[in-house]
Structure 1
Amino acid sequence: MKFNHVFDHWTYETFPPGRLLRRRYNSFQKLIELEEECLHIISLIEDIGFGLTQADWSNIEKLSADLGLKVRAMLEQLQEMNPVRFMDIMDYYNKINFYVRMAVTVPDPEISKPFTFPLEDSLDFANKAGAYAANLARIKQDGMPVLDGMVIGADIYNYFIEANDLRIAIDNILETVTSTDLDDLKQISTAIIAVFQQGNMPESIANEIEIAALETSRGSGNLTVSVGVTPEGKSQPLPESYCRISPVPAQNIVEVWKKAVLCKFSPEAIKARIELGYADRESPAAMIIQPVKDVHDSGFIETFHKTDEELPLKDRVTGCSAISRDKAGFQYLISRRNKQRVLAKPDPSPLSSHSVKTIASLGRQVEKLFEAPQRCGWITDLRNRVIITSTCPHPSEGIKEVERIKLALTYIANLNISPQNTEMFLPEKSRSMYDLVRFANEKGVEEMFSLVSKKGLGLDGAKHMKARQPISLDILNLADGLFTTAAGKLDISPDDIKSAPMWALWFGLGAERPGWNKENAIEGCAILSKTYMNITLKSEKDLTEVDAVCDPDTTQNHIHFRFKGGSGTPQQRISRTRFIKMVLIPQGFTVKSQGDLIEATYGQAGEAEIQKLLATIGHTTAHIATHHPITENHDKIDVEVSKFISGLG
């Protein structure tokens, strides 16, 4: 939405002639245009941070970079308006922009040897091995039987990406991802896989992998390979990012590696990674290779299994474990009570009771070791010995990364300065990009009003309006926006307002209501004519802007409303946004929202209708100012809206 109608009214002729002043006017116009773009980007990032939308981290990095460029351009326009006054502003911008980059940029992974290593060494190389290998090593260290193998570490994946220069191409695809809809992600998945498959394994790395495969395959020559994806520094793998292939001839290991690691680019895997808050570059794939053994049977055990089966009364409390065989589905249910009992089994049973109880016992030991239910792979060899082949938490939800987006919002979207606190409203007090945007807007308006106060053409200068309520406005009267009673006065009252849209807004904004105090006082500036109003209102850290025409000629009539919050917890800000939307939408406004930025439009209605809606906006703005927060309970917004609307009469 563009709030540029003001420039149709506030033209060059408003100011004394001169090239310098016209240059300032042009700079201010560009500053306002850039402000809209900055607010849009900030609100997009807020949407992601509040959990209202999902986007790949590459998209957040791109948005942050774009925001940095636009804020810089905005500050350059402010410097154009007054080079001396704002000569140091870029020093503060550079500092904040550095913190933003540090908060959102995920560094490229460090790559180092060893690239392959024995499975039992995985605890020493946990970041390289990934969670699946590290878990098996820990189980073996605890004395449980584990199928040995080798690990083709995550650094081989990282090496492959770097050697083939794939990072930029993959990030360029991922930065377009602003949804976790699986249909949308199918196209992303296909595009990334096409890029990845163009890469070739460096010869030295291929040789090392092949040697590891040949040594691991021993006599049979075949392998079972399993791939998982674990975010750097985390102890749990990403859900939906697991692949197991068997049998694999040892000599085909490089080709199979390239095929297996593609599991991290499936639509489901991308969705899971995004929802947990990780970047692609910090989520490498690692592979475990294990020899194919002659086995009697194989399968999985879920140590805690949800079932529709009717369990004995005592087992309904503790639940049951379930064993499946690769050759069939879940066939065995085992009690989780201290005394193991087989609750259900096929007839005849392919597994002996001893094997079933041994598998169940090992599963419970693994669960106890990791303090969470597990899904363990198992085999029984020809001597009927049970061996664990894999394990992971089940259900596998992963570990959500929440601190990074919080830190990013701190430097991007938090508002720390307020024009009402003159001691804080300084560039050196700015701590975020939003601080700089609000500072540039406020000071840009100040500069323009200062020009008008110096004898604007055909104007009586800027006026200051003070009301009984803690509301004060600087007003620029363009053409017949004030009664003649205001002539020659610097300080005016609401009774001096003639502008039709301003009077309608004031009807709601200036109405008597409880809750006003110095902390929620409203300050702002307005540009008025008889039928036009552009007003900016600031209360605490909230910003409200209204641009409206209220004319007998309905073709020009419109209301453009914008609200941007700056205070409160994410939940309080979401509640406030929802409150405003629920007030405006039934009135016929077209409303868009991102983060806690709301933009609403209404057009081409009669004078009476426009005035009524402006009064509603005035009431809403005052209500928001005097009710911080709107409600502590998000579920009670409907009640608050009903009370508010009924109070309007």
Structure 2
Amino acid sequence: MFIAELFKHWTYQVFSPGALLRSKYNAFKELLEFDDRCLEGIADLEEIAYGREKADWARMHRLSLQLTRDVGEMVRRLKLMGPSRYVGLPDYFNKFRFYVSMGMDTPDPAIAPPHVLSLEEAADAPALAGGKARNAGLMAAETYLNVPTGFVVTATAFNYYLEANGLRAEVDDLLGRMELSRPTEMERLCAEIRELVLQGTVPVPIAEEIVSRSKTLAGDSGVLAVRSSAVAEDGELSFAGQYESLLSVDPDQALNAYKRVLAGKYAPRAVTYRVLNGLSDVETPMAVLFMPMVEARAAGVVYTLDMDRSQAVCGMLSIYAVPGVGEHLVSGRAVPQIYCLTREADPLLVQEPTADAVLSPEQVASVAKAAMELEQMFGEPQDVEWALDQQGGLHILQSRPLGGRHKAQAAPERSVSPEARPLLADASRASGGAAYGRVFHYDPPEHTLEDIPRDAILVVGALDPALAGTVGKIRGVIAEAGSRASHFASVAREFGLPVLVGVENAFQRFSPALEVTVDADTGAVYHGRVESLLQNDEEESRPSPALQRLRQVMPHISRLTLVDPEGADFAPEHCRSLHDIVRFCHEKAVAEMFRLVGRGGRGLGAARKLETGLPLVMYLLDVGGGLFDQATQKRSITPDDIKSPPMWSLWQGLSSKDIVWQEGLTHMDWEEFDRVSAGIFKHDSALLASYAVVAEDYAHLMVRFGYHFSQVDSLCGPDERKNYVNFRFKGGGGLMRQRELRLLFLRRVLESQGWRVRVRGDMLDAGVGNGSEAMTQRQLHLLGRILGRTRLMDMGLEDELQVDRLVEEFLHPPASEDY
């Protein structure tokens, strides 16, 4: 019988004397469900706020909105259980809902004209034209360089497009459901958004202007390049290769091309890149740049200050060139020729290809001078994209700052121990840094991004821009092909991800699961972990505006101040957050459950105090078959009266001989703890009061030890397909680091016994199921021992070595008690 059917059976069996009792009990069940959802929502937001999960602003907003709804449902259920006792509670809830709503709301995106700008107008309107078009406009206005003319469909046109097609709410909903840790699901959601965008209709005034200008720009027989120019692109952040740009577009297809570039904003790699950089979707609206297509004989990029030593001359200007269009270069599929020049007004060539040069000396000098002119104009080193047409004319297609790690200082000096065993030397660096991990062969379509394990060193054939979706998950990349000039290399440098390229037979050199240390700064790979290469001070990143907004709201969400249910301040007026409201509702709902019956014991039957030799105050509620018949008339019961197998098994573990109750916590001074905590944790304190609801093959417990609580829910019977144990553990009186160490103890013990474990914030959720009745009872016995051993453990924990020792002692005690 499913647990829902059990509750339904108990409801009709026990509450038939009156509809009011049934209503209260149903409200209690529903309140507990919302309690679980609220705690999960708080934990999810804490994961994001503490930086453990990177999330889209839409996800943060969705989680906060769902949390406030769920807390409101808890308040409503508690009001149903005790209408006269919680009159003021909704007002306090509404106060915190208002604080959270105000903190999480953002202004509506601008949709007003202008919706189309000339390239010259774009130079003075970065918020409308985006970084790429604005830079192109500046180059055209302030230099004599040959910059293709063009026009821009603005960022407000994009916002208007979403608004006119009714897409904003749908897009936000889909973005809010994305988690970077689930790339397959993310890919599906991104595909849904792109399809919504592609099915939209360009508003008539904008469509007419795009068509008219496109035909004029292309002339009689020309084709167009339609390129992304999102706000925040090609500025402090490059977004290199993340968005879609289309080449050789017929003017008759201009509207379709426009929509495709808009839809490209929601490619998984673009969304991942944006989220990892802490930008919201609304902060990065998509402008689209239309230019005449250059039929290129040769193309490439220039780094006006190249700090690479593996392929170029450090500190010089470097030109990366390939025959034909530059797409082959930036996509990572082509290996370029590299020309290095001095950074002077008349640059000197200091490095060039040995044979079959793509560029003549005059063309090399022309490209270098143009790039240095742009550096002088923009006032900082530039990453310049260029092309030579069929007649040898130079065209400057775009320019953006090198910025950040792109122009980082030369490779740091590191010492390598003599014992380190090199597997590779003198490879080419595409992105500097050092990292350790296990090798994973990534070879699509055989593999998807979801197949890549966390902290892996990827071995790949080429630097596909889609690899940007792995940033934040992997530790490094070893590629057979590619170069520093590829889009993915640019992204990798922004995030400090080490990348080596040009490694022949990489798949044969590095076997799967091999542990290696990659030192991209020197082009080396070593067997195993080389500590001396990994001891670098990581640059502390400044929280993004989105994360700063969330952190400002978090005190109204997760701060917990109501800790003593029997204290005078355990009241709605003392709530300081939604978490306090959740705690208040949960505790008062439990109290309401024990008020359900009068002194006569009708309905549920009176809650009985469980008399034991342990310093634990517990009340037990039998809803059918959980106690032996002789306990029916007793006002209090003992463990011998318990018939419910899951409750009995758990209690046997909790009262095991290896659990010390009277002497206090192992490795902990109770006298000192009582002094620090003002003595509030006496064994007979009502603060430790716990409860259990039991039935013939079911048990639900809420066990409290001071500042933390544990919940256990289990079905244990002859049908192993239905058997399960779920466990939740949250809170503690120690510092956050101490609570994390206790959760580490719990995780290691439970996982060693086959449990599924998930930790978020200071909450642990674990479960095990589908075991035989005997196996489920053993797991419950283990869980009882864990509950007894870990109470207040966090106050005495200092480091992981101590946790390792405690785990070993727990799993292999000197005189183990067999169950």
Match for residue 750 of structure 2? 584
Alignment of 1:587-606 (within 5 A): 587-592=753-758, 596-601=763-768, 604-605=773-774
Kept after mapping to 2: 8 A contact 1:481/1:529: no
Match for residue 432 of structure 2? none
Deviations 1:396-432 (A, max 9, x none): 4489553345456554444343236936533234344
Match for residue 473 of structure 1? 617
Kept after mapping to 2: 8 A contact 1:131/1:237: no
Seen in structure 2, the aligned counterparts of structure 1 residues 10 and 246 have a Cα distance that, compared at 3 Å, is closer
In the alignment, is residue 609 of structure 1 matched against residue 778 of structure 2? yes
Which structure is higher in helix share?
1
CA distance in 2, matches of 1:449, 1:599: 28
AA in 2 matched with 1:199: G
CA distance in 1, matches of 2:556, 2:323: 51
Seen in structure 2, the aligned counterparts of structure 1 residues 72 and 352 have a Cα distance that, compared at 3 Å, is same
CA distance in 2, matches of 1:555, 1:187: 32
Match for residue 691 of structure 2? 526
Q: Which of 574, 580, 597 does residue 435 from structure 1 map onto?
A: 580
Match for residue 288 of structure 2? 287
Deviations 1:544-575 (A, max 9, x none): 11346899999999754221347889877665
Match for residue 132 of structure 1? 132
Match for residue 510 of structure 1? 661
Kept after mapping to 2: 8 A contact 1:376/1:391: yes
CA distance in 1, matches of 2:611, 2:379: 66
CA distance in 2, matches of 1:558, 1:268: 39
CA distance in 2, matches of 1:124, 1:572: 54
In the alignment, is residue 321 of structure 1 matched against residue 327 of structure 2? no
In the alignment, is residue 344 of structure 1 matched against residue 352 of structure 2? yes
CA distance in 2, matches of 1:553, 1:223: 68
Kept after mapping to 1: 8 A contact 2:652/2:781: no
CA distance in 2, matches of 1:248, 1:607: 65
State the shift of 1:442 in Å. Answer: 0.7
1:201 aligned counterpart, secondary structure:
coil
Seen in structure 2, the aligned counterparts of structure 1 residues 224 and 570 have a Cα distance that, compared at 3 Å, is farther
Seen in structure 2, the aligned counterparts of structure 1 residues 448 and 224 have a Cα distance that, compared at 3 Å, is closer
CA distance in 2, matches of 1:322, 1:216: 30
Kept after mapping to 2: 8 A contact 1:247/1:292: yes
Match for residue 426 of structure 1? 571
State the shift of 1:228 in Å. Answer: 3.1
Seen in structure 2, the aligned counterparts of structure 1 residues 384 and 515 have a Cα distance that, compared at 3 Å, is farther
Seen in structure 2, the aligned counterparts of structure 1 residues 476 and 12 have a Cα distance that, compared at 3 Å, is farther
- Kindly tell me the number of residue pairs found equivalent between the two proteins: 636
In the alignment, is residue 39 of structure 1 matched against residue 48 of structure 2? no
CA distance in 2, matches of 1:568, 1:33: 28
Kept after mapping to 2: 8 A contact 1:132/1:392: no
In the alignment, is residue 390 of structure 1 matched against residue 390 of structure 2? no
CA distance in 1, matches of 2:719, 2:242: 62
Kept after mapping to 1: 8 A contact 2:692/2:702: no
State the shift of 1:202 in Å. Answer: 2.0
CA distance in 2, matches of 1:302, 1:341: 15
In the alignment, is residue 444 of structure 1 matched against residue 589 of structure 2? yes
Match for residue 530 of structure 2? none
Deviations 1:228-287 (A, max 9, x none): 333599853545433333444556533432233332233322333344454444432112
Match for residue 207 of structure 1? 208
Kept after mapping to 1: 8 A contact 2:708/2:732: yes
Match for residue 793 of structure 2? 626
In the alignment, is residue 334 of structure 1 matched against residue 340 of structure 2? yes
Seen in structure 2, the aligned counterparts of structure 1 residues 184 and 5 have a Cα distance that, compared at 3 Å, is closer
State the shift of 1:152 in Å. Answer: 1.9
Seen in structure 2, the aligned counterparts of structure 1 residues 239 and 544 have a Cα distance that, compared at 3 Å, is farther
Deviations 1:366-401 (A, max 9, x none): 668879875321245868667463336562448955
CA distance in 1, matches of 2:379, 2:706: 47
Match for residue 257 of structure 1? 258
Seen in structure 2, the aligned counterparts of structure 1 residues 380 and 587 have a Cα distance that, compared at 3 Å, is closer
2:84 aligned counterpart, secondary structure:
coil
CA distance in 1, matches of 2:710, 2:193: 43
Kept after mapping to 2: 8 A contact 1:229/1:285: yes
1:402 aligned counterpart, secondary structure:
helix
CA distance in 2, matches of 1:165, 1:565: 43
AA in 2 matched with 1:505: L
State the shift of 1:130 in Å. Answer: 1.4
Deviates more, 1:285-294 or 1:202-211: 285-294
State the shift of 1:91 in Å. Answer: 1.7
Kept after mapping to 2: 8 A contact 1:455/1:461: no
Seen in structure 2, the aligned counterparts of structure 1 residues 611 and 198 have a Cα distance that, compared at 3 Å, is closer
Alignment of 1:126-525 (within 5 A): 126-137=126-137, 145=145, 147=147, 148-179=149-180, 183-213=184-214, 222-230=223-231, 235-248=236-249, 252-292=253-293, 297-303=298-304, 315=313, 318=315, 321-325=318-322, 327=324, 329-334=335-340, 341-345=349-353, 347-357=355-365, 359-360=367-368, 363=371, 374-379=382-387, 387=396, 389-391=398-400, 393=402, 395-396=490-491, 397=494, 401-407=546-552, 409-419=554-564, 422=567, 425-451=570-596, 454=599, 456=601, 463=609, 473-476=617-620, 478=622, 500=648, 501-502=650-651, 504-507=653-656, 508=659, 510=661, 512-513=664-665, 514-516=668-670, 517-518=673-674, 519=677, 521=681, 523-525=688-690
Seen in structure 2, the aligned counterparts of structure 1 residues 574 and 195 have a Cα distance that, compared at 3 Å, is farther
Seen in structure 2, the aligned counterparts of structure 1 residues 554 and 97 have a Cα distance that, compared at 3 Å, is same
Kept after mapping to 1: 8 A contact 2:380/2:401: no
CA distance in 1, matches of 2:299, 2:577: 56
CA distance in 1, matches of 2:112, 2:220: 31
CA distance in 1, matches of 2:722, 2:294: 81
Deviates more, 1:235-244 or 1:279-288: 235-244
How does the TM-score come out when normalised to structure 1?
Answer: 0.78
AA in 2 matched with 1:74: M
Deviations 1:502-536 (A, max 9, x none): 35314437363215435494623223779986432
Kept after mapping to 1: 8 A contact 2:320/2:336: yes
State the shift of 1:86 in Å. Answer: 0.8
Deviates more, 1:428-437 or 1:373-382: 373-382
Higher RCO (CA-CA < 8 Å; seq separation 6+): 1
Seen in structure 2, the aligned counterparts of structure 1 residues 258 and 497 have a Cα distance that, compared at 3 Å, is closer
1:117 aligned counterpart, secondary structure:
strand
Alignment of 1:84-103 (within 5 A): 84-103=84-103
1:165 aligned counterpart, secondary structure:
coil
Kept after mapping to 2: 8 A contact 1:418/1:424: no
Seen in structure 2, the aligned counterparts of structure 1 residues 170 and 568 have a Cα distance that, compared at 3 Å, is farther
State the shift of 1:598 in Å. Answer: 0.8
CA distance in 2, matches of 1:608, 1:345: 73
Deviates more, 1:542-551 or 1:566-575: 566-575
Gaps of 5+ in 2: 327-334, 407-489, 496-542, 682-686
CA distance in 2, matches of 1:426, 1:192: 45
Kept after mapping to 2: 8 A contact 1:218/1:291: no
AA in 2 matched with 1:510: W
Gaps of 5+ in 1: none
